[in-house]
Amino acid sequence: MYETELAIVGAGPAGLSAAIEARKAGVEVLLIDENSRPGGQLFKQIHKFFGSRDHKAGIRGMNIASTLLEESEELGIETWLKGEVCGIEEGRNLWVVRDRKCSELVKAKKIILATGATENAVAFKGWELPGVMGAGAAQTMINVNRVLPGKKVVMLGSGNVGVIVAYQLLQAGAEVVAILEAAPKLGGYGVHTAKVARAGVPLYVSHTIKTAFGKDHVEAVEIVELDSSFKQIPGTERILEVDTVCLATGLTPLTELAWLAGCKFNYVHALGGHLPIHDDKMRSTQPDIFLAGDISGIEEASTAMEEGRLAGINVATELGYISEEEARARSNEIWDSLNSLRSGYFGERRRTSKDSMLQKGKEVIKWNH
Amino acid sequence: MNRIVNHPILEEGKQGKEVQIFVDDKPITAMEGEMIAAALIANGIHINRYTAHEHKPRGIYCAIGRCTDCIMTVNDVPNIRTCVTKVEEGMRITTQKGMGVWSEEER
């Protein structure tokens, strides 16, 4: 058995930021991650981030990860890698399988769940063939593992993940045959979309994949046009010769531990579906469990880091390391920063969705008010 | 070889130590510390297993240890997620059929 004041599940941008804030305040922290290195999905993000200078705009995701890791090492944060959290008991105790060998009980006063998200699938005929993969999977292969999973790629989805990974596939030496978007208009930030467009990648709106063909591996796909109600228009099918299909069709939060812990949920479509309810302190409906990052709503690494800091500060306050007054002042600053990240053409919908979640949190989480 | 050596942003490809692993008894060269699935892709191997009932091929899908599509039998232990398991010198990897078979020692 291992005892600690705060256990954080997930050492991505949210978990690392939470750990750093809490440890700086004096909290005893245990950071647990199932992977063999911390940093979550930041290391595969080799593009420069958006937002203002305060939000680390202009810095590549992989370099942000290195900075966070350095900071957490300097603070001497206890980190368990290859630690898989398999259960939560009594809202505070974690059952952890370490190194895929032995299991250990962690007793914590507070828990922060920063488990992240997983990529959505699209089940067209042939989607299970080798060669069909998540866009993030291809991104991991090219940018982290430095191997090219395919040479001729079609990307399904024109959101930020779709256009960014398409561009990074070009940088890695692949050909991107097309980017398809089921909706009638493109979904990514203009700057990223413009890069692939300038590189000559055709972008098709109102199109999807009907079938992937191949014996042991993808050899071609049949694409089809969609009408305004997303129905396939017969007769518009055509064949693209590709060896790889990347699916960039959104993410779903990894909420298993929150369900296990008995957190109450709320459905928020724009933030990725069923999400554990939380308030403006990032507290769930379980008094000792806080949330940060994609588990509280699918957004970006920049918002995940701010939410992590918020959770870390509020946990430190509850444990008596930060005064209520200081916590309020610092939280307000972070909320200003989050609101500016959630502004503009793409951010507004996330802002209103997050506001509705906070409203729900206010109604349900009584002990906080 | 499907390794990315020259890249406009990332530093030159890994110069690490080479290790030898065996895939279905054939020796291949991998880079020390890389994930098994990456070593396979580098060597042009895209099928990790065949499904239990219809014997259909499966390759990597999520590459972050979530989906289990890339599981293989590694050193006689079946169902190892090759995208999150590092190669080791002399490792014996087998294309898995169905649920795989546990060896007597590992059972």
> What is the three-state SS of A161-209?
HHHHHHHHHHHCCCEEEEEEECCCCCCCCHHHHHHHHHCCCCEEECEEE
Same structural domain, A268 and A298:
yes
Minimal C-alpha gap between A97 and chain B (Å): 15
Rounded Cα distance, B44 and A137, in Å = 17
Cα of A5 vs its chain's centroid, Å:
26
Minimal C-alpha gap between A161 and chain B (Å): 14
Asked whether the CA dihedral A297, A299, A301, A303 is positive or negative, the reply is: negative
Q: What is the number of domains present in chain A?
A: 2
A200 contacts chain B (CB < 8 A): no
- B107 has a pLDDT exceeding 80: no
Final residue of a structural domain among A247, A268, A292: A247
* Element holding A276 (H helix, E strand): strand A273-276
Same structural domain, A224 and A262:
no
A217 contacts chain B (CB < 8 A): yes
* Phi/psi at A86 (5° precision): -105, -15
Return the pLDDT at B14: 56
Return the pLDDT at B104: 74
Same structural domain, A235 and A297:
no
A134 contacts chain B (CB < 8 A): yes
A143 contacts chain B (CB < 8 A): yes
Closest residue on chain A to B61 (Cα): A133
Rounded Cα distance, A363 and A369, in Å = 10
Same structural domain, A114 and A257:
yes
The interface pTM score, or ipTM, of the predicted complex is 0.94
Bridge partners (DSSP) listed for residue A80? A32
CB contacts, 8 Å: A133 with chain B? 59-63
Q: What pTM, to 2 d.p., does this model score?
A: 0.95
Same structural domain, A186 and A236:
yes
Q: Of A245, A252, A191, give the one whose Cα is nearest residue A220.
A: A245
CATH of the domain at A70: 3.50.50.60
Return the pLDDT at A369: 46
Of A136, A141, A172, the CB nearest to B41: A141
By DSSP bridging, strand B92-94 and strand B71-74 are: antiparallel
Same structural domain, A76 and A23:
yes
Return the pLDDT at B1: 72
DSSP assignment, residue A51?
S
Contact A216 B47 (CB under 8 A): yes
Residue-number span of the structural domain to which A353 is assigned: 2-118+251-368
Per-residue confidence in pLDDT tens, chain A, 369 aa: 999 999 999 999 999 999 999 999 999 999 999 999 999 999 999 998 876 666 667 899 999 999 999 999 999 999 999 999 999 998 889 999 999 899 999 999 999 999 999 999 999 999 999 999 999 999 999 999 999 999 999 999 999 999 999 999 999 999 999 999 999 999 998 999 999 999 999 999 999 999 999 999 999 999 999 999 999 999 999 999 999 999 999 999 999 999 999 999 999 999 999 999 999 999 999 999 999 999 999 999 999 999 999 999 999 999 999 999 999 999 999 999 999 999 888 789 999 999 999 999 999 987 654
Return the pLDDT at A90: 86
Minimal C-alpha gap between A127 and chain B (Å): 10
Contact B41 A147 (CB under 8 A): yes
Contact A217 B86 (CB under 8 A): no
Same structural domain, A6 and A36:
yes
A349 in helix, strand or coil? helix
Same structural domain, A210 and A257:
no
- What top-level class would CATH report for the domain B18-98? alpha beta
Final residue of a structural domain among A247, A264, A294: A247
Same structural domain, A287 and A328:
yes
Contact between residue A223 and residue A205 where contact means Cβ atoms under 8 Å apart: no
Final residue of a structural domain among A247, A276, A300: A247
Same structural domain, A191 and A259:
no
